Amino acid sequence: MARRLSPLDIAFLQMETPEAPSHVGGLQIFEIPAGYKGSFVADLKARLEVIAVGEPFNLKLSPKGLPLAFPTWIADNNFDIDFHLRHSALPKPGRMDELMKLVSRLHGRLLDRTRPLWEMYLIEGLEGNRFGIYIKIHHALVDGVGGMRLMDHSLSRTPDDQNMRALWSVEEIEKRARLKRSMTDGAIKTAKSVWGPLRSMPQVLKALALPGKTEAAIAFKTSKTVFNGHITASRRFAVHSLPLAEAKEIGSTLGHTVNDMFLAICASALRRYLAEKNMTPDLPLTATVPVSIQLEGANKKGNQITYIAVNLCTDVDDPLERMAAIGRSAAAAKRNMSALTRHAVQTLAVVAQSTAALINHFHLSAFVTPPANLVLSNVPGPRETLYLMGAKVVGSYPMSILMDGQALNITLCSQGGRLDFGILGCRNAMPDINLLGKYVGEAFEELKELAASKNTTRPAESDSAKIKAKAKAKALAKPKAKPTAARTSKVVIEAKLETKVDAENEAKRPAKAKIARKAAETKVAEPVAA
Question: What is the reported pLDDT for 202?
Answer: 52
Name the pLDDT band for 196 (thresholds 50, 70, 90). very low
Active centre residues (catalytic)? 139
Q: Is the pTM of this model over 0.85?
A: no
Residue 198 in this model has a pLDDT that exceeds 50: no
Average pLDDT over residues 194-208: 48
Separation of alpha carbons 156 and 154, rounded Å: 7
Percent of the chain residues past pLDDT 70, beyond the cut: 72
Residue 433 in this model has a pLDDT that exceeds 90: yes
Average pLDDT over residues 49-65: 88
Separation of alpha carbons 373 and 273, rounded Å: 14
Which residue did the predictor score with more confidence, 326 or 371?
326
Separation of alpha carbons 71 and 129, rounded Å: 45
180-207 exposure pattern, b = at least 16 Cβ within 10 A, e = fewer: eeeeeebeeeeeebeebbeebeebbeeb
Query: Picking from 254-258, 294-298, 517-521, which range would have the lowest pLDDT averaged per residue?
Result: 517-521
Residue 502 in this model has a pLDDT that exceeds 70: no
Torsion of CA 243, 245, 249, 254, to 10 degrees: 50
pLDDT in tens, 402-418: 998 999 999 999 998 99
Domains for the chain: give ranges and CATH numbers: 3-173 (3.30.559.10), 198-381+398-457 (3.30.559.30)
The SS3 call for residue 273 is: helix
268-272, 499-503, 520-524 — most confident range: 268-272
Q: Nearest Cα to 167, choosing from 109, 87, 84?
A: 84
pLDDT in tens, 444-466: 999 999 999 987 765 544 444 55
Q: Nearest Cα to 258, choosing from 249, 266, 267?
A: 249
pLDDT in tens, 140-176: 988 766 777 777 778 999 999 988 889 898 765 555 4
427 φ/ψ angles, rounded to the nearest 5 degrees: -60, -40
Contact 99, 399 (CB under 8 A): no
Residue 488 in this model has a pLDDT that exceeds 80: no
Query: Picking from 29-33, 123-127, 371-375, which range would have the lowest pLDDT averaged per residue?
Result: 371-375
Separation of alpha carbons 10 and 138, rounded Å: 11
Name the pLDDT band for 108 (thresholds 50, 70, 90). very high
Q: At what angle do helices 434-457 and 319-338 cross, to 10 degrees?
A: 100
How many C-beta atoms surround the C-beta of residue 463 within 10 A?
A: 7
Which residue did the predictor score with more confidence, 159 or 472?
159
Residue 212 in this model has a pLDDT that exceeds 70: no
Percent of the chain residues past pLDDT 90, beyond the cut: 52
CA 493 vs CA 406, 480, 498: distances in Å: 79, 19, 9
Question: What is the reported pLDDT for 176?
Answer: 45
Average model confidence (pLDDT) for the chain?
79
128 φ/ψ angles, rounded to the nearest 5 degrees: 80, 25
